[in-house]
């Protein structure tokens, strides 16, 4: 886990570093285990066999090559969402609006994808991704600007913007951008041009590669650049940031823009890589899962990857579980909520494992609703 000063680690004994990472991972791992146990109790209570359910779940997510590629597919937007929420957290902002930003990114990437024909992939793909990311950024910038200049709390504004985005994208997909091919009656856009679809690079989907690169880029931005230092300073102590000559307003807007950029990119990647068009009701629940992932990863961008893979496994295996054991796939949401609870209330896990509280940076959000 990144401590306040871990940026000075090059010469630090690597064993100490590894121990530090293991130590930081204990609470999240224990939280997952406890959540799975409680989830098992709920499954048993509703009359099914939790062992059967869980083995089907993990078989469906990891049991075969196809299962694993499904897991990667599910994990890709989760990584982008988890990064978006983590980055905002670093600046003391709670972006519950990843969902809406993802929708805006997805619908605009789809538009670029289906409206332009005949562009080469090398141009079409970057363009569609960029437009998607920018629309996500614009959507988040609304909340960031309102927070910076009027003090409207981002928790409420981003949720409201989610609902606006649902309605707006629904209208686009059912109105001006509707798929007019004969026989189609549902709300959806036309399929994107084949040149705009994301290819596999030596068998690995481009989407997951981009997600991993994004995680590394976010880590670099936060810990190795002055911009990251400014973001973190505003998140840790806004009045000290002001004293140090950092513009709190500028960083608030910037953090939301970067966060929305990532979420929008996630939407664009999923549209171009997996779905191939925009459909309303797209990836519902991603916003909340992204919060769980960010907290499970303790807002560490690199740790977002394994956290997303874990949840990807569950999502990929859910239908197998439902088929094999009759347990409704919604149990995943219950387990995710329990993971979030145990990670957030880490005092419980610490008390059980007799771990000391960690020093260093904390996530605090509840500091007033004013500026």
Restricting to residues 284-313, name those near other proteins by CB under 8 A.
285, 288, 291-292, 295
Nearest alpha carbon to residue 71 among 249, 357, 274, 268 = 274
Pick 182 or 245: Cβ nearer other proteins? 245
Restricting to residues 256-275, name those near other proteins by CB under 8 A.
none
Restricting to residues 345-364, name those near other proteins by CB under 8 A.
345, 347-348, 359-364
Asked if 108 touches other proteins (CB under 8 A), the answer is no
Q: Which residues contact 139 (CB under 8 A, 6 or more apart)?
A: 97, 100, 101, 104, 161, 165, 260, 264
Residue 331 Cβ vs other proteins, minimum distance, rounded to whole Å? 5
Asked if 164 touches other proteins (CB under 8 A), the answer is yes
Restricting to residues 68-97, name those near other proteins by CB under 8 A.
94, 96
- Cβ count near 351 (within 10 Å): 9
Pick 126 or 151: Cβ nearer other proteins? 151
Residue 195 Cβ vs other proteins, minimum distance, rounded to whole Å? 31
Q: Give strand pairing partners of 205.
A: 200
Restricting to residues 318-347, name those near other proteins by CB under 8 A.
328, 330-338, 340-341, 344-345, 347
Residue 181 Cβ vs other proteins, minimum distance, rounded to whole Å? 21
Pick 161 or 265: Cβ nearer other proteins? 161
Give the CA angle between residues 52, 55, 60 to the nearest 5°: 120
> Measured between alpha carbons, how far is 369 from 371 in angstroms, rounded to an integer?
7
Pick 129 or 146: Cβ nearer other proteins? 146
Is 162 in contact with 143 (CB distance < 8 Å)? no
> Measured between alpha carbons, how far is 258 from 41 in angstroms, rounded to an integer?
40
- H or E segment and range at residue 338: helix 331-344
> Measured between alpha carbons, how far is 305 from 180 in angstroms, rounded to an integer?
39
Name the segment binding other proteins (CB under 8 A); options: 58-66, 195-203, 221-229, 267-275: 221-229
Nearest alpha carbon to residue 70 among 162, 208, 249 = 208
| 17, 64, 115, 167: residue in contact with other proteins (rule CB under 8 A) | 167
φ and ψ of 200, to 5 deg: -90, 140
Restricting to residues 176-195, name those near other proteins by CB under 8 A.
none
- Which one-letter DSSP state was computed for residue 280? S
φ and ψ of 140, to 5 deg: -75, -30
Asked if 240 touches other proteins (CB under 8 A), the answer is yes
Is 267 in contact with 198 (CB distance < 8 Å)? no
| 29, 121, 229, 326: residue in contact with other proteins (rule CB under 8 A) | 229
Name the segment binding other proteins (CB under 8 A); options: 69-77, 150-158, 256-264, 296-304: 150-158
Q: Which residues contact 156 (CB under 8 A, 6 or more apart)?
A: none
**One symbol per residue from 13 to 52: x for binding other proteins (CB under 8 A), - otherwise; what is it?**
-----------------------------x---x------
Residue 127 Cβ vs other proteins, minimum distance, rounded to whole Å? 26
Pick 159 or 355: Cβ nearer other proteins? 159
Pick 128 or 300: Cβ nearer other proteins? 300
> Measured between alpha carbons, how far is 179 from 187 in angstroms, rounded to an integer?
7
Residue 174 Cβ vs other proteins, minimum distance, rounded to whole Å? 8
């Amino acid at each position: 886990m990144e401590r306040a000063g871990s940026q000075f680690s090059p010469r630090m004994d690597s064993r100490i570093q590894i121990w530090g990472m293991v130590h930081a991972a204990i609470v999240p791992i224990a939280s997952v285990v406890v959540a799975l146990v409680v989830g098992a109790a709920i499954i048993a209570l509703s009359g099914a066999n939790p062992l059967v359910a869980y083995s089907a779940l993990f078989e469906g997510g990891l049991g075969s090559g196809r299962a694993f590629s499904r897991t990667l597919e599910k994990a890709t937007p989760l990584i982008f969402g988890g990064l978006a929420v983590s980055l905002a957290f670093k600046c003391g902002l709670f972006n519950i609006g990843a969902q809406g930003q993802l929708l805006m990114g997805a619908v605009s990437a789809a538009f670029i994808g289906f409206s332009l024909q005949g562009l080469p992939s090398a141009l079409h793909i970057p363009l569609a991704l960029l437009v998607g990311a920018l629309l996500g950024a614009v959507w988040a910038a609304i909340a960031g600007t309102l927070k910076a200049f009027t003090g409207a709390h981002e928790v409420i504004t981003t949720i409201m913007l989610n609902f606006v985005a649902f309605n707006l994208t629904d209208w686009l997909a059912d109105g001006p951008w509707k798929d007019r091919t004969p026989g189609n009656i549902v709300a959806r856009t036309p399929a994107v041009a084949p040149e705009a679809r994301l290819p596999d690079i030596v068998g690995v989907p481009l989407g997951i590669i981009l997600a991993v690169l994004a995680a590394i880029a976010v880590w670099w931005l936060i810990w190795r650049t002055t911009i990251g230092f400014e973001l973190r300073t505003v998140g840790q102590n806004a009045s000290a940031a002001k004293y140090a000559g950092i513009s709190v307003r500028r960083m608030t807007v910037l953090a939301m823009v970067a966060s929305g950029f990532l979420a929008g990119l996630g939407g664009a990647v999923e549209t171009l890589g997996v779905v191939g068009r925009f459909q309303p009701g797209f990836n519902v629940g991603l916003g909340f899962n992204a919060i769980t992932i960010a907290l499970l990863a303790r807002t560490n961008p690199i740790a977002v990857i394994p956290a997303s893979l874990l949840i990807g496994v569950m999502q990929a295996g859910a239908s197998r579980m439902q088929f094999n054991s009759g347990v409704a796939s919604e149990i995943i949401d219950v387990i995710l909520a329990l993971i979030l609870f145990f990670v957030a209330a880490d005092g419980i896990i610490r008390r059980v494992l007799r771990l000391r509280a960690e020093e260093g940076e904390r996530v605090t959000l509840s500091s007033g609703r004013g500026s």
